[in-house]
Each structure stands twice: as structure tokens, then as C-alpha cells.
């Protein structure tokens, strides 16, 4: 067998017969010869459709006549013959044939995915959140509140009159510090007396009885509510929801087979935990909020410190929203502490 000749199977496409043939790469043509030496097909290399090379699979070469050749690679002999005849190898094939190049591609992939995760997704989520109709955001928040009410939250134990007074006080302060930020204050409680407050998409701010009791001081409660209003003003929770959708799509792209995205799109309640940057922004907002109303920052700072102390004693499992588990906690407290001096 000469260097440009290969044993092959030929399928006419008219029936399923497998004919043993010899395929010859003859100059710029593919010539198919039957075992008795008669030429069955002859076609320019430029018009045949050739499948990519795989290590252990034969090449499928489709001719214009509708016939197909099944040719083994023979350890690269076929690829070499084709290269001599001037058949170009796609860059993708060249890349994936060489392990070092694949490892570089892997490093590039990891870098790109990290970049997309850390920078791209937040940016895209911000962009979309700013353009999302308010109705959708509102409905999203309402649905999450319904889900929370069903599974975690109960009605507040404080009497209506007291709640009314705090709500009015907060409304006045909000008008003064951040007019035009639409929000809705909701009072709730949990059976374990959780100390928490959080913001949902569309401006729903939930404050739990446990937090009010723990804070003890109206100024401190207003500081915490100011922090949550900050999340509302910056649309943090909507952005968080959008980011989690994006993470699902990214993961689907990597490990799913496209249908993976369908599986990961349904929203989970895993959106109540914000990034470090979001918390910092909300803290800054709270400080500005308190200052605009000439309320001391100290009680707010106090609550932060006492909560950290308490959580350090009890383990980190029940950390409320506005004290997240990020290692930057000390940094955040320090940040608020600096504001105390100014």
C-alpha cells in the first residue's frame, strides 16, 4: 500500500452495502477504486465533506455523488497524506490535538469564567435591573414574601399602634434622606425570635420583632432600616436575583448540555445574601441616612458590634442579612466606626 493509498469502506448511499475499496489521495483528487482496480469515484478534494479527525474513530468522507467513505486514521497516516495534498486543518482541531495548548485553553477558560462571574455578571445584572419594569420587580418581591410568609415568617407581636408610629418615623426620615425611593415596610416575626431585617425586590423591607428587641433603641432600628433602604435604593436584591439566574446559565453552559440552563433557572431563595460591595454600599447609605436626619450613628454601630459578639458566641449559622458571613465583617464595622469620628 503506497503512502497515499488507504483501505476504506465505501457506501453508495443508495443501499446499505459496505464495499471494501482503496481510497487514493491523488494530487488534488480523491479516487475510489474497487478491489478489482476499476475506478468507482473520482472527485476534487475541495468538494468532498470531510469529518474532523478523532483519535480512535474513522474519518467519514462524503462525496458529491451521495456516497460515503469510512477511512481509518491509521495512526495519523491519513492526516499526513491529506496535509500533503493541501487539505487545511481547522485551528480548533490543531488546538485540541496538543495537550499543552489544551492546558493553556483550560487556564484561559478558568480565567474567563472567573472574570464573567466576578465582573461580568454583576455588571450585566445591574444593567438589566435598571431597565426592568417596576411591575416585574414588584411581583417578584411579592411572590418571595408570600413564600417567606408560608414557610418562615409569622405576624409581628408588636401592637398596631407601635408599628404605625415606627413606620411613620421611618417614612419621615426616608423622605428627608432619600426622597423618591419607593419602599414598603412589613413587620414580621419568627418562632425562634430571629434577629433580622431584609429587603426584597421591588422595595419590600421586612423587619423582624427579634431585631427590634435586640436593638432596643429606636435610633439603632432606624439605622438598620436605613441600611435596608440602601439595598432598596441600589436595587441590590433584584440584581442579586438576576445574578443567580446568570450563575445558573453559566453553570448550565459549562456542565449542562444547554438543557442544564432550563434546570437551573427556577429561582431559589438563595438571594438574600449580598456581596461585600453591596453591604458596604448599604452601610454608607445608612450612615448618610442617619446623618441627614441628625440621628447619632453610635447606636447603629453598637448593634453591629453586639451582633458580631453574639454570633461569635453562638456560631455563624444564624447571621442576619445586614451582618453577613463575609470575612470582611471586621472591615465593615471599622468602616462604620470611621464614620463615627467624622
Binding site for Zn ion (CB under 5 A): 282, 321-322
Taking contact as CB under 8 A, which single stretch among the options 214-222, 224-232, 253-261, 275-283 is the one that binds another protein? 253-261
Q: What distance in Å separates the CA atoms of residue 226 and residue 291, rounded to the nearest whole number?
A: 11
- 141 belongs to the binding site for another protein (CB under 8 A): no
Q: Which one of Zn ion, another protein, none is in contact with 161 (Cβ closer than 5 to 8 A by kind)?
A: none
Q: DSSP E strands: which ranges in 125-178?
A: 154-155
Which set of grid coordinates corresponds to residue 179?
426622597
Query: How many beta carbons lie within 10 A of that of residue 261, not counting itself?
Result: 16
Footprint of another protein on residues 298-337 (CB under 8 A)? 314-315, 317-318
- 67 belongs to the binding site for another protein (CB under 8 A): yes
Q: Which of 64, 119, 139, 168 binds another protein (CB under 8 A)?
A: 139
> Could you tell me which residues come within 8 angstroms of residue 328 by beta carbon, excluding any fewer than 6 positions away?
276, 279
Taking contact as CB under 8 A, which single stretch among the options 88-96, 155-163, 278-286, 330-338 is the one that binds another protein? 88-96
Which set of grid coordinates corresponds to residue 273?
445574601
Give least dist CB 231 to Zn ion, A. 5
Contact 205, 183 (CB under 8 A): yes
Nearest residue (CB) to another protein, 39 versus 49:
49
Q: Which of 83, 89, 134, 136 binds another protein (CB under 8 A)?
A: 136
Half-sphere exposure of 140 (CA within 13 A, CB side): 24
Nearest residue (CB) to another protein, 117 versus 337:
117
- 258 belongs to the binding site for another protein (CB under 8 A): yes
Give least dist CB 295 to another protein, A. 29
Q: What distance in Å separates the CA atoms of residue 229 and residue 175, rounded to the nearest whole number?
A: 11
Contact 224, 215 (CB under 8 A): yes
Distance of CA 109 to the CA centre of its chain: 15
Quick note: the x/- pattern for another protein over 189-218, rule CB under 8 A, is ---x-x------------------------
Amino acid at each position: 500500500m503506497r503512502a497515499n493509498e488507504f483501505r476504506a469502506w465505501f457506501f453508495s448511499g443508495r443501499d446499505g452495502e459496505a464495499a471494501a475499496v482503496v481510497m487514493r489521495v491523488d494530487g488534488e483528487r480523491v479516487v475510489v477504486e474497487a478491489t478489482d482496480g476499476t475506478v468507482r469515484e473520482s472527485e476534487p478534494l475541495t468538494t468532498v465533506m470531510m469529518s474532523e479527525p478523532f483519535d480512535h474513530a474513522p474519518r467519514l468522507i462524503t462525496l458529491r455523488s451521495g456516497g460515503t467513505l469510512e477511512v481509518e486514521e491509521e495512526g495519523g497516516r491519513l492526516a499526513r497524506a491529506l496535509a500533503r495534498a493541501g487539505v487545511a486543518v481547522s485551528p480548533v482541531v490543531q488546538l485540541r490535538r496538543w495537550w499543552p495548548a489544551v492546558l493553556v485553553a483550560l487556564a484561559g477558560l478558568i480565567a474567563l469564567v472567573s472574570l464573567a462571574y466576578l465582573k461580568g455578571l454583576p455588571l450585566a445584572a445591574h444593567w438589566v435591573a435598571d431597565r426592568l419594569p417596576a411591575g416585574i420587580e414588584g411581583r417578584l418581591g411579592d411572590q418571595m414574601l408570600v413564600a417567606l410568609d408560608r414557610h418562615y415568617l409569622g405576624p409581628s407581636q408588636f401592637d398596631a399602634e407601635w408599628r404605625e408610629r415606627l413606620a411613620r418615623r421611618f417614612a419621615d426620615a426616608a423622605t428627608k434622606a432619600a426622597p423618591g425611593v419607593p419602599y414598603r415596610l412589613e413587620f414580621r416575626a419568627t418562632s425562634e425570635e430571629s434577629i433580622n431585617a431584609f429587603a426584597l425586590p421591588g422595595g419590600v423591607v421586612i423587619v423582624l420583632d427579634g431585631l427590634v428587641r435586640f436593638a432596643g433603641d429606636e435610633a439603632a432600628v432606624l439605622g438598620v432600616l436605613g441600611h435596608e433602604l440602601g439595598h432598596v435604593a441600589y436595587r441590590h436584591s433584584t440584581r442579586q436575583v438576576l445574578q443567580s439566574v446568570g450563575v445558573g446559565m453559566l453553570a448550565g453552559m459549562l456542565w449542562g448540555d444547554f438543557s442544564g440552563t432550563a434546570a437551573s433557572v427556577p429561582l431559589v431563595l438563595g438571594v438574600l445574601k449580598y456581596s461585600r460591595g453591596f453591604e458596604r454600599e448599604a452601610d454608607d447609605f445608612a450612615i448618610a441616612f442617619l446623618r441627614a436626619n441628625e440621628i447619632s450613628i453610635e447606636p447603629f454601630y453598637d448593634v453591629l458590634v453586639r451582633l458580631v459578639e453574639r454570633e461569635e458566641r453562638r456560631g455563624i449559622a444564624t447571621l442576619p442579612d445586614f451582618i453577613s458571613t463575609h470575612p470582611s465583617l471586621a472591615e465593615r464595622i471599622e468602616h462604620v466606626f470611621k464614620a463615627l469620628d467624622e
